[in-house]
Amino acid sequence: MGHRSDGVTQNPNRQRPRRPRLGWGPIAVLVGDIGEHISTAFIAGHLWGDNDGFSTSMLQPMIFYNLPNAWNIHYNNMITYSWDSDSDDAWTVPLGLAVGKMFALKGGHGIEFFAGPYYNVVRPDGAADWTIKWGISWLLP
């Protein structure tokens, strides 16, 4: 059994699913712009688990290339290291790009829709080769 820091438990042996796990720990965030069209951010942190005591470090580099008409192409995914796993199964490293579209709402708010494929170039045994990541983000003024 391996795990991801978002609380989803991998289950390669088709055993009964485990409950999502909660974790606490320090997180640091850096945000910046490189020129007119490129936005960047970086999140790093470590989580310790509740009942079963998992220990996971995470890095989340983000780079957005902003296109006309509020479109963007970006990398925004989490690289994780599980300190509880065997060294061969500790890393998860996704590589891929997503496309997003932002829409302006009243009061300075916005909403973004995005989707894209990511290939896990390094992954624990039993983890997926590919992931389709999609989402909706509410942007605050």
Q: What is the DSSP letter of 90?
A: S
Query: Other C-beta atoms within 10 Å of 33: how many?
Result: 11
Residue 74 · residue 114 · CB < 8 Å: yes
Torsion angles phi and psi, residue 87, rounded to 5: -60, -30
Per-residue pLDDT of the chain (141 residues; tens, 9 = 90+): 333 444 444 445 455 556 666 788 999 999 999 999 999 999 999 999 876 678 999 999 999 999 999 999 999 999 999 998 888 889 999 999 999 999 999 999 999 999 999 999 999 999 999 999 999 999 898
The residues facing 134 across adjacent strands are 115
Q: What is the pLDDT of residue 17?
A: 57
Query: Other C-beta atoms within 10 Å of 24: how many?
Result: 10
